[in-house]
Amino acid sequence: MKLFTIKLYKGMAKFEKKYTIEQLKEIFQQNNCELLQDYYDRVNKPVNYRCACGKKSQIAINNFIKGGRCRSCGGKKISKKMIFTIEKIKNHFEDNGYALLSNDYTGAHQKLSVICPKGHNIQISYGNFNRGNRCRHCFFESRRKPTPPKLRPSPIKHTYESMKIDLEQNGYKLLSTEFLGVKYKMKFECPNGHLDEMQYATFRRGARCIKCSREKRKGVGNWRWISDRVELKKNQRYAKVCRMMVKRTLKAVNEEKTRKTDLYLGYTSQQLKNHFENHPKMIFIGNAKWVPDHIFPIKAFIDFGISDISLINCLDNLQPLTESENHKKSDKYIIVEFKKFLESKNIFI
């Protein structure tokens, strides 16, 4: 007779127990099972056997001794432990305010007759009830409840008398004889005596007489106001001179204006003003009327095929002259001096 040694580890006392194959077969038979092989290596290795349910399976000897069986028997054993009794289910329903009418219970998927706290008779499984589902009639009733309407402030009802008092409190005199609504224009007289008309809704938002507003923006009240009026006229004249020079030059070279004057000239009207006022000839001109003059006329540049507007109107080529001197000079120029001027600008012909 061959003996086998079984070693037990991990939580079990370390000792060696000898089983014969006949002893193991007897252990299986005592539990209505049948060992299907005549050998085994270790206690923790699976062996083939036929379970009490008739199915063939594999199991380690130590697990069998502890009470383990095949997967099918194990599932049935667990399901028996999880089955609830009718009394326990009834108590669960009553704790939530429900009354159980069914007298038998077979499983979590069985439909049970229940009465909800509001008296609805419904069918529901215990599995769904245990997950939190409740009476569907109560759910739909809660959804049908109308939401309370949003409270809006009642609109202010204006009358002719209230509009008249409002205008008088702001120093205005109402000239209209009837009130048609806040969107209709009303005629009034402002504290400064201006006659105007405006919607009462616009007046309520803070708008006032347009004519008074324009007068406030004129003169000293304007943010661009220049107190020195003589200086202002000079600035306006030099700005006009710049525009006229660009206009004449574009016409001579047969082009159209596509950008601002300062970008064509390369300088501002203020720079032109400083150049002319510091020019030596301005001392001799004095208070006489002067005009801007090109030292080398536009015709000279056109004759040599030059159409650069910034070069034609550069400050080195501009001087102030009286009108009579400008007419005498006309478009005459000396070619040699003109070539020297171009060479000073790094243009060689």
Q: Name residues whose C-beta falls within 8 Å of residue 174's C-beta, 6 or more positions apart in sequence.
A: 163, 164, 167, 168, 186, 187, 188
Query: Does residue 100 share a domain with residue 73?
Result: no
Query: Does residue 71 share a domain with residue 99?
Result: no
Query: Does residue 239 share a domain with residue 205?
Result: no
Give a yes or no: residue 91 inside a domain.
Answer: yes
Q: Do residues 340 and 317 touch, judged by C-beta distance below 8 A?
A: no
Q: Name residues whose C-beta falls within 8 Å of residue 156's C-beta, 6 or more positions apart in sequence.
A: none
Give a yes or no: residue 37 inside a domain.
Answer: yes
Q: Do residues 108 and 127 touch, judged by C-beta distance below 8 A?
A: yes
Q: Do residues 84 and 93 touch, judged by C-beta distance below 8 A?
A: no
pTM, 2 dp = 0.43
Q: Comparing 227 with 292, which gets the higher pLDDT?
A: 292
Last residue of a domain, one of 58, 79, 100: 79
Q: What is the pLDDT of residues 34-72, one digit of tens each?
A: 888 888 777 788 888 888 888 888 888 888 888 888 888
- What is the signed CA dihedral for 211, 215, 216, 222, rounded to 10 degrees? 130
- Structural domain for 332, as ranges: 229-344
Last residue of a domain, one of 79, 110, 129: 79
Give a yes or no: residue 349 inside a domain.
Answer: no
With bands split at pLDDT 50, 70 and 90, how would you rate the model's confidence at 193? very high
Query: Does residue 209 share a domain with residue 175?
Result: yes
User: Is the pLDDT assigned to residue 111 strictly greater than 60?
Assistant: yes
Q: Do residues 282 and 320 touch, judged by C-beta distance below 8 A?
A: yes
Give a yes or no: residue 153 inside a domain.
Answer: no
pLDDT reported for residue 291? 92
Query: Does residue 248 share a domain with residue 171?
Result: no
Provide the total of helices (H) and of strands (E) in the chain, helices listed first.
Answer: 17, 13
Query: Does residue 198 share a domain with residue 132?
Result: no
Query: Does residue 217 share a domain with residue 137?
Result: no
User: Is the pLDDT assigned to residue 175 strictly greater than 90?
Assistant: yes
Q: Comparing 85 with 212, which gets the higher pLDDT?
A: 212
pLDDT reported for residue 150? 61
Distance CA 302, CA 211 (A): 53
Query: Does residue 209 share a domain with residue 105?
Result: no
Query: Does residue 250 share a domain with residue 336?
Result: yes
Give a yes or no: residue 150 inside a domain.
Answer: no
Give a yes or no: residue 291 inside a domain.
Answer: yes
User: Is the pLDDT assigned to residue 104 strictly greater than 90?
Assistant: no
Give a yes or no: residue 152 inside a domain.
Answer: no
With bands split at pLDDT 50, 70 and 90, how would you rate the model's confidence at 17? low
Query: Does residue 325 share a domain with residue 236?
Result: yes
Last residue of a domain, one of 36, 61, 79: 79
The total domain count for the chain is 4
Question: Radius of gyration over alpha carbons of the chain, in Å?
Answer: 56
pLDDT reported for residue 151? 58
Query: Does residue 316 share a domain with residue 284?
Result: yes
Length of the chain: 349
Query: Does residue 338 share a domain with residue 233?
Result: yes
Run of H or E residues at 214:
helix 210-217
Q: Name residues whose C-beta falls within 8 Å of residue 348's C-beta, 6 or more positions apart in sequence.
A: 342
pLDDT reported for residue 81? 66
Give a yes or no: residue 328 inside a domain.
Answer: yes
pLDDT reported for residue 5? 47
With bands split at pLDDT 50, 70 and 90, how would you rate the model's confidence at 9? very low
Percent of the chain topping pLDDT 70 = 90
User: Is the pLDDT assigned to residue 191 strictly greater than 90?
Assistant: yes
pLDDT reported for residue 301? 93
